[in-house]
Chains A and B, each alone.
Chain A
């Protein structure tokens, strides 16, 4: 069964460093998302991406964050200068269509645990 994959599973970085989190969405999906979950808190939406453009972003997704689909399979989240409060589990998700019928179910990857020291 097709699944969303993410690498690395765990990333440790120093405050102020840049990190890139990678995701391979399900191959026929057109919509891509990043969410994060700080330990003990709710899963929070960061950004959605379609047709090589950001569709929507949250207040969390400030200028330190960027997303890119560098090729036909990968979807990346970059944090330019990490802060301690960026420590969280980051989830990538994808869906086949945005709103059409039953095909808008979002499928999540296993997550990347980011630890900022």
Chain B
């Protein structure tokens, strides 16, 4: 059974700092991995999608890496801003499972001015 874990559960950093959020999964037979942002009481905003054949994806100040064999992904946020404060979720899609995403519990990020 696929389990997705995110460490740390919460992170507080000063503005301007570069930071890394971690995601691990127990079954490497994934099709892709997606990172989301969730603001309190709101929906999920897709940030980056990495296919299993890719090693990384970049969007602006965000860079996500994937090491499928070790069951790990990281989300790197450069030059953090207070507006980056949110919960960050990772989710994996396994092969042969009709689109189902399996989510981690998220990392709650707070960027202090």
Contact = CB atoms under 8 A, between A and B. Distances in A.
A18 interface: no
Contact of B100 (A56, A101, A107, A111): A56
Interface stretch (B16-24, B42-50, B65-73, B77-85): B42-50
Interface residues of A, number: 29
Interface residues of B, number: 25
Contact of A42 (B43, B97, B103): B103
Contacts of A102: 49, 51
Nearest to B32: A104
A76 B53 CA distance: 34
A45 interface: yes
B64 interface: no
Main secondary structure, interface of A, reads strand
Contacts of B45: 108
Interface string B94-109: 0001111111111000
B98 A105 contact: no
The CB with the most chain A CB atoms within 10 A, among B32, B99, B103, B105, is that of: B99
B42 A48 contact: no
B98 A56 contact: yes
B73 to A, nearest CB: 15
Nearest to B102: A45
A65 interface: no
A116 interface: no
B40 to A, nearest CB: 11
B99 A48 contact: yes
Contacts of A35: 101
Contacts of A101: 51
B74 interface: no
B99 A43 contact: no
A38 B41 CA distance: 12
Interface of B: 31-32, 34, 36, 41-46, 49, 51, 89, 91, 93, 97-106
Given A42-B105, A109-B43, 14 more contacts: A42-B106, A43-B91, A43-B103, A44-B103, A50-B98, A55-B98, A56-B98, A58-B100, A91-B43, A99-B31, A102-B51, A107-B46, A110-B43, A113-B41
